[in-house]
Copies of this chain bind each other. A is one copy, B any other.
């Protein structure tokens, strides 16, 4: 029987087991450019084994809610950051080692970084252009594992 997953607000604490939330909450770490720019410094734990981090662009098809989650994947050799290139929130799914998924939604202007080896859903924009910058491992050797759920989960809105 299909189980429902209710989307949770994305907070640093709730997301800590899976990765980093990058946003401009709070004061900047540094004011630069004669005070005209705030730097929120070094907010992601980049971790690329036997390779190097690179910047790629992802152009993703929009999805809608309720969202059928039929698989998760992980990258054993590298972290992966999803940086939206528009101010649209997007859906973030992550799972623990027992593969129990949780779902979050970003606020406008938030990015996330999955820690190396974290099970997660694929890039899932819900609105906007579906354009993201992705910071992940560039290198040889296998770096993708997939898990198919025998029965898909249904990710639903919390309101």
Residues on A lying within 8 angstroms of B by beta carbon are 22-24, 28, 32-33, 36-44, 46, 52-61, 81, 83-87, 109, 111, 113, 122-123, 128-129, 131, 133-135, 138
- Given A109-B131, A133-B111, decide whether A22 and B55 contact each other with a Cβ distance below 8 A: yes
Q: What are 11 inter-chain pairs, A to B, with CB distance below 8 A? A: A23-B57, A24-B57, A33-B122, A36-B61, A37-B60, A41-B54, A42-B54, A42-B55, A42-B138, A43-B56, A55-B135
Q: Is B133 touching A57 in the complex (CB atoms < 8 A)?
A: no
Beyond A37-B123, A87-B128, list 16 extra A-B contacts (CB 8 Å).
A22-B133, A24-B57, A33-B122, A37-B58, A37-B59, A37-B61, A37-B122, A40-B57, A42-B138, A43-B57, A46-B54, A55-B83, A83-B83, A109-B131, A133-B133, A135-B135
**From B36, B41, B122, contact of A60 by CB (8 A):** B36
A128 to B61, CA, bound (A): 24
Q: Is A111 touching B85 in the complex (CB atoms < 8 A)?
A: yes
Q: Is A58 touching B46 in the complex (CB atoms < 8 A)?
A: no
Q: Is B60 touching A33 in the complex (CB atoms < 8 A)?
A: yes
A83 to B81, CA, bound (A): 13
A62 to B147, CA, bound (A): 45
Most buried by B among A43, A44, A57, A84: A57
Q: Which residues of B contact A56 (CB under 8 A)?
A: 39-43
A87 to B130, CA, bound (A): 11
